[in-house]
Amino acid sequence: MEDKRNIPIIEWEHLDKRKFYVFGICMTMMIRVSVYPFTLIRTRLQVQKGKSLYNGTFDAFVKILRTEGAAGLYRGFLVNTFTLISGQCYVTTYELTRKYVSRYNNNNAVKSLVAGGSASLVAQSITVPIDVVSQHLMMQRKGESMGRFKVQNQDGKRLLVFGQTKDIIVQIFRADGFRGFYRGYVASLLTYIPNSAVWWPFYHFYAEQLSSLTPKDCPHLLLQAISGPLAAATASTLTNPMDVVRARVQVEGKSSIILTFKQLIAEEGPWGLTKGLSARIISATPSTIVIVVGYETLKKLSLRPELVDSRHW
């Protein structure tokens, strides 16, 4: 039987790090701009009680666009861009951990599982304070707020973007002190570490399965572009219950993950755990395609000069 080819994986030591970081930041920024509206919609759907405001992803999109304009879909975006720092920390930790684990185990699934979980731990430690602030900004609707804090008006006019950010930061600090910026940290870890740890093995699993089912001349990037969204949908479905709890803990100021979970079940039943899932998958699908294809292309563009001609990537 003819052996099927393996999809080549470019490792950390093959990269020109300067190119890698410059290209990486540009690529991540483009992804953020395209999918941020669905991140905002997902958060609002997860926080709302039942269907008090929106009946679903499409309904939320139309209502926000109609009542708040296009700018309403990008509330908190500028603050959220600071997570670009955590994004670079994520990929660095992921690649370095893969390299370290390969000393003891060369199984790709094992390397991806450990590296994905470790990378998410590092990234969330940086991301959570930014997320807390940006999510409270996402909750600011026209003339009201869905969360605990409301941006104050000044002389009848709305504050400028970073004025709103400063206002939210002051309110969080007054209410909860420094700990307020890490509210939901454990819930975030319980959401994103499993999500990341599950995504990478499923990504490589789907890629390998598709590789065995497709003709040998099928482009690697096509297989990866299909595998990424499949892995994202799988990981999103498995971790969405904790993501709903995380959003409520951070926005509503709750202190207990267990009590928040019990309250959600009591008020909305098991279906409450699926809130925002469609918006999460919708935002994950195009972004994952770009991330996967872009990330693999990014690594190819960042290959050290002496390796460009010597390897068949």
More confident residue, 283 or 65: 65
pLDDT at 47 over 60: yes
Contact 73, 36 (CB under 8 A): yes
Q: How many CB atoms lie within 10 A of CB 144?
A: 8
- Nearest alpha carbon to residue 253 among 140, 175, 138: 175
Q: Give the pLDDT score at 141.
A: 85
Report yes or no: 45 and 57 within 8 Å, Cβ to Cβ: yes
Residues 207-215 have a mean pLDDT of 86
pLDDT recorded at residue 130:
92
Query: Is the separation of the CB atoms in 79 and 130 below 8 Å?
Result: yes
**Rg, C-alpha atoms of the chain:** 21
Residue 112 has pLDDT above 90, yes or no: no
Read off the pLDDT band of 25 (50, 70, 90).
confident
Residue 163 has pLDDT above 80, yes or no: no
> Which pTM value belongs to this model?
0.74
3-class SS of residue 249? helix
* Weakest-pLDDT range from 111-125, 175-189, 207-221, 242-256: 207-221
pLDDT band at 14 (very low <50, low <70, confident <90, very high): low
Residues in the chain: 313
pLDDT band at 233 (very low <50, low <70, confident <90, very high): very high
Closest among 306, 226, 308 to 7, alpha carbons compared: 226
| pLDDT at 37 > cutoff 50 | yes
pLDDT bracket for residue 156 (50, 70, 90): very low
Average pLDDT over every residue of 202-230: 85
The mean per-residue pLDDT over the stretch 205-232 comes to 85
- Mean pLDDT across 94-98: 88
Give mean pLDDT, residues 270-285: 88
Percent of the chain with pLDDT over 70: 85
The larger pLDDT score, comparing residue 160 to residue 186, is at 186
Average pLDDT over residues 141-158: 70
- pLDDT value of position 88: 81
Q: According to the per-residue pLDDT averaged within each range, which of 102-116, 166-180, 289-303 is highest?
A: 166-180
Look at residue 304 in the predicted model and tell me its pLDDT: 63
What does the DSSP 8-state code read for residue 299?
A: H
- Residues 43, 64: Cα–Cα separation, whole Å: 13
Q: Which are the contacts of 66, defined by CB distance < 8 A and separation ≥ 6? A: none
Residue 227 in tokens: 């595998």
Q: What is the Cα–Cα distance from 285 to 283, expressed in whole angstroms?
A: 6
Instruction: Report residue 283's pLDDT band, with 50, 70 and 90 as the boundaries.
Output: confident
pLDDT of residue 23: 75
